[in-house]
Structure 1
Amino acid sequence: MDVTTLYSIGELSRRTGLSVKTIRFYSDSGVVAPTTRSPAGYRLYDLDALLRLELLRTLRELGVDLAAIRRVLDRELSVAEVAAAQADAMDVQIRVLRLRRSVLRVVAGRGSDPEETKLMHRLTRLSGEERRRLIDDFVVGTFGAVDADPAAVAMVRAATPDLPEDPSSEQVAAWVELVELVGDGEFRTRMRRTATAQAAGRTLGIENEAGEELMDLTRREVAEAVESGIDPLGDRAAPLVDDLVHRFAEAFARTPDTEFREWLAQRFEEAHDPQVDRYWRLVWIVNGWQVLPHLIPPHPWLIRALRNDRAARSTTAPHGH
């Protein structure tokens, strides 16, 4: 045998970057066996052993376990097959790490206590099937298995919240809030009443009384204000709210004063359930849907604006000043 093609452990260590101790371990375990021994009894390795060690080191650095590497070296598996399996395993690990990161960011941002942190961690670890079952239980518990309004059930199921595998911090926070909401018995009652009316295309309370034309105008004006980022409590909102208050006062033959503003705010609250509106907003966030301004209900913004003291006082002044 040509001894120039043989390498000592020290030479293998220098060429591969592996320590002598590590090479000896691989040699003793039979992963890379010595080709022969020197007259003095030292292990000697050929070029094939050197290449095996280089491949072994590369695969180990990529996170492949030793058992899989042994099968590659013994030609039971190809490098491509092992790489594909390792990539799939890393995808799972990455999703888990990202989910943990999102939970930690929510905990840090909200200043969560230990109990809330444990709850958040548990809820986000639910499998996709467990999450769907949780929402199914909510739908059945809300509308009942029998005598349910099919249109209302279909509307709720069409927008089933589904936390993605790689959720953002905002989606994690929305999912936790959503789970707490759907477990509330009182909310289920309110959801059933509101969803049944929505599915039937019925408007509630003040929307019927004010008329379709005024309500359409209100929705457009408020949607534009929301899209423009106008704060309902800011000075930019006052002229818009003043105009709407006067239009509603005319429709109801009332005086557009502070008392009328509060009456109007109360009527909008009676016609729309803020918890149900919150549910739909949370569903949008969890599902990663774009929040379209024209689909945002006008009443939460309008109610806040109506109850803004500064805006209320402005209506007592002559209109146009």
Structure 2
Amino acid sequence: MNGMTPPHSIGDLSTRTGIPVRTIRFYSDTGLPPPTRRTRAGYRRYDDAALDRLRTISVLRELDIGLPTIRRVLDGDLPLTEVATAHASAVELQIRALRTRLGLLRSIAGRGSAPEEITRMHRLTRLASDERRRLVADFLSGLQADTPAAQSAVAALRTAVPHLPDDPSDAQLDAWAEITELIADDTFRALLAEATLPPADEAALAGIAPEEAADLLRFARQAATASVDAGTEPESDVAVAVVDAVVARFAATLDRSDDGDLREWMARQLAVGHDPLVARYWRLVWTVNGWHVLPGHLPFQPWLVTALRRHP
């Protein structure tokens, strides 16, 4: 400045940048930025370059970038683009964590969860992605696969591994929490391996002529599938009429009475390879993975088995 006194005092810098005087003095003491000159009375004075540096410091601090990194940027030792890229990735991780936390809070608010349930869900949702994958991998590796059929079943399970995304929805969080309950149950593990590859529908009605079995199953499939697609719960009163119609068709074809014995026999036959709990697991997997379930694609038997046993 050709010997002229730099134009900016600390107070002026504070007014122009919005940074408190005390903070500017701290930055100046550490060389961010150093004073251009001092007056005869010892007051610090700064030039326009120092003002620009302070403005840069202010923006980067608002983005939560640390002073050591800022110093390297200002000194030209570190490209600003590289810093921005790294911090953008860090912020993205923070956003994902906040979304998970938000989903957990909404789930707790909606479920009215007990303290122990809150603790469990919090622990499960805070698992890192690799920990969640390891949890499922341990479950799959622990499945019994002593027979060729069981080995095929486990292979099929491994093609549809539940994977909770980093920013799950409320429904995905709930489904993930329920999956972790199921895969920790030894009884369910054995059941899943047996029911993953169900037999042909007609094979479930042993002792009945193939034509009659096919006709009964066609009628049952149409009735139950319509209820599943409509979102009717098998435990609801609405399901009673559907169950009564299916049982009446079975009773007429088999020349049996519509009673509790017939309904339990139907439930046992239809449950072979189609356990409702296994069907529930697959629905949860589809929810967690965000897969679209096509209407009429799911087996009808689990819904009907549950309805038969709920309305005996």
TM range (shorter): 0.7 to 0.9
More displaced, 230-239 or 153-162?
230-239
The answer on 1:6 being equivalent to 2:2 is no
Match of 2:296 in 1: 294
1:46 CA drift (Å): 0.3
For 1:271 and 1:6, how far apart are their aligned partners in 2? 85
SS of the residue 1:89 aligns to: helix
Mapping of 1:162-241 within 5 angstroms?
162-195=163-196, 197-198=197-198, 205-206=204-205, 209=208, 211-230=213-232, 232=234, 240-241=242-243
1:225 CA drift (Å): 2.7
1:32 CA drift (Å): 0.6
Mapping of 1:1-321 within 5 angstroms?
1=1, 3=4, 5-144=6-145, 149-195=150-196, 197-198=197-198, 205-206=204-205, 209=208, 211-230=213-232, 232=234, 240-256=242-258, 260-261=262-263, 263-269=265-271, 272-303=274-305, 305-306=307-308
**Paired AA for residue 36 in structure 2:** T
SS of the residue 2:19 aligns to: coil
- Verify the 8 A CA contact 2:5 2:45 in the aligned structure 1: no
**Paired AA for residue 250 in structure 1:** A
- Structure 1's unaligned 5+ residue stretches are 313-321
Change (3 A) 1:157 1:68: same
In percent, how many aligned pairs have the same letter? 47
SS of the residue 2:142 aligns to: helix
SS of the residue 2:143 aligns to: helix
For 1:55 and 1:123, how far apart are their aligned partners in 2? 41
1:65 CA drift (Å): 1.6
- Verify the 8 A CA contact 1:224 1:293 in the aligned structure 2: no
Change (3 A) 1:275 1:242: closer
More displaced, 259-268 or 10-19?
259-268
SS of the residue 1:7 aligns to: coil
- Structure 2's unaligned 5+ residue stretches are none
1:11 CA drift (Å): 0.8
1:277 CA drift (Å): 1.7
For 1:41 and 1:89, how far apart are their aligned partners in 2? 43
TM-score by length of 2: 0.86
For 2:11 and 2:131, how far apart are their aligned partners in 1? 55
1:291 CA drift (Å): 2.4
After superposition, the C-alpha distances for 1:190-246 in whole angstroms (9 at most, x for unaligned) are: 122222x42x65766338846234323422332233223445567765655444333
TM-score by length of 1: 0.84
SS of the residue 1:254 aligns to: coil
For 1:245 and 1:274, how far apart are their aligned partners in 2? 19
**Paired AA for residue 47 in structure 1:** D
SS of the residue 2:108 aligns to: helix
CA root-mean-square deviation: 2.9
SS of the residue 1:211 aligns to: helix
**Paired AA for residue 25 in structure 2:** R
For 2:107 and 2:153, how far apart are their aligned partners in 1? 33
For 2:19 and 2:156, how far apart are their aligned partners in 1? 62
**Paired AA for residue 94 in structure 2:** Q
More displaced, 7-16 or 263-272?
263-272
For 2:44 and 2:26, how far apart are their aligned partners in 1? 13
- Verify the 8 A CA contact 1:206 1:271 in the aligned structure 2: no
More displaced, 61-70 or 8-17?
61-70
For 2:290 and 2:161, how far apart are their aligned partners in 1? 12
For 1:145 and 1:271, how far apart are their aligned partners in 2? 17
Change (3 A) 1:193 1:259: closer
